Amino acid sequence: MIKVMYATTFSIEHLRSLPSNFSYYLTEIEKDPRFEVHLLNRDHFSGNKLTKTLRMVRYIKKKKPDILYLTLWQGYNNLVLAKILGLIKCKVAIWKFTYCMGGAIFITRFFFRYLYWPSIDRIYMMFDNHTEDALMKGLVKDNQIVTLSRGADIEWYGDFQKDMTDQPFRIIATGKDHRDYFTLGKACEETKTQCDIITFRHKPCLEAAELFKGSKYVHFTFMDNGYSIESYKYVVGEVSKASAMAICCEKLPYGAGYTNIVECLAFKIPILQTLNPDVHLDPEKEGIGYSILPYDLEGWKEKLTLIKDKRIRSEINNNIQRLLAGEYNSNATTEYIKNDFIQMVENKS
């Protein structure tokens, strides 16, 4: 049996209540009798950062996992450092959203190239460009890194599925970070498109909401419950009733909106997305939506008009079905990870 320790601030009950893509497929991995799953929550360890890290290391050594499973954006870089120092010996697998750092000066370049990245056994990248960049810079080897599709948990999202065939057209946007709701709101106003924006109380979002507070077409809802089960289910329920998803972002040096894309696939709705070279799933290439240049009001208006055509949405639905039948479902992603974990453990080097 392979022991997998997953680092998270959520309880296992919380993770099981959400789609498996939320837990990076841990809740599907745990159903396989070949795997034994343990959680590691940094909030369960007291002390300053050094003391807390040492206590976490002792806990890891006590449980003796074969694989430490991380998402680095949650702040577990200290455990990678612990492996570099030889304090833990297990394999380390991570999910990464952004480019692999190489360092701006000699000492940091040396650290990342010869110590940090070599200590990680597997890196699951979200975007092809990020994978290619890490390989081109020599930060990682071919056998360390792969771009892995984050498949949708169709069974979980299926509980929210509704027949929206005869419902009026309605677009939804649910992101919070680096979103351009000014351009989206103006495009919806000028095309008389119903648009619901569900977000958090970030300053740019509040400013956009103030601008459209008297709008007939653009409506903002602000969430206060973070990643609670109830708030996530509320958002998913609203997405399930939408005709299309808008992922309208600022110009960014990395990919964005991946969670939104998973939800669009689950409900087979079109994606209108700000053009970004760092996306794993190109909506236009796959025939599941459209890309628009950053801050391009006329572009958004044009694509909103196009996506209102039911024939186009029907064709997009068929293309999404094709993706779901391939690598973009949670079963496919989970099977890849499980087989990869087995191979990692069997490879003792």
Residue showing tokens 């050594």: 61
Q: Whole-angstrom Cα distance, residue 57 to residue 79?
A: 8
Buried/exposed code over 158-193 (b: 16+ C-beta within 10 A; e: otherwise):
eebeeeeeeeebebbbbbeeebbbbbbbbbbbebeb
pLDDT of the residue at 349 = 60
pLDDT of the residue at 225 = 64
Q: Do domains 2-151+329-346 and 154-325 have the same CATH topology?
A: yes
Give tens-digit pLDDT for 283-341.
999 999 999 999 999 999 999 999 999 999 999 999 999 999 999 999 999 999 999 99
Buried/exposed code over 55-70 (b: 16+ C-beta within 10 A; e: otherwise):
ebbeebeeeebbbbbb
Give tens-digit pLDDT for 9-35.
999 999 999 999 999 999 999 999 999
Q: Whole-angstrom Cα distance, residue 18 to residue 12?
A: 10
For all residues of the chain together, what is the average pLDDT? Answer: 92
Give tens-digit pLDDT for 236-262.
999 999 999 999 999 887 777 788 889
The whole-number average pLDDT for the span 172-194 is 94
Confidence grade of residue 170 (pLDDT, cut at 50, 70, 90) = very high
Helices (H), 308-329: 310-325
List the single range of 5-14, 74-83, 105-114, 223-232 with lowest mean pLDDT. 223-232
The whole-number average pLDDT for the span 152-158 is 94
Homologous superfamily (CATH) for 2-151+329-346? Glycogen Phosphorylase B; (3.40.50.2000)
In contact, 231 and 198? CB cutoff 8 Å: no
From residue 259, give the alpha-carbon distance in Å to each of 141, 289, 322, 340, 347. Answer: 28, 16, 19, 23, 32
Confidence grade of residue 126 (pLDDT, cut at 50, 70, 90) = confident
- What are the boundaries of each domain within the chain? 2-151+329-346, 154-325
pLDDT of the residue at 194 = 97
Q: Whole-angstrom Cα distance, residue 88 to residue 170?
A: 51
Half-sphere exposure of 139 (CA within 13 A, CB side): 22
pLDDT of the residue at 178 = 87
Give every strand in the sheet of 2-7, ordered side by side: 35-40, 2-7, 67-71, 91-96, 122-125, 145-147
Give tens-digit pLDDT for 90-124.
999 999 988 898 888 999 999 999 999 999 999 99
The whole-number average pLDDT for the span 145-171 is 89
In contact, 287 and 317? CB cutoff 8 Å: no
pLDDT of the residue at 157 = 94
pLDDT of 60 > 90? The answer is: yes
Homologous superfamily (CATH) for 154-325? Glycogen Phosphorylase B; (3.40.50.2000)
pLDDT of the residue at 227 = 66
List the single range of 177-186, 218-227, 332-341 with lowest mean pLDDT. 218-227
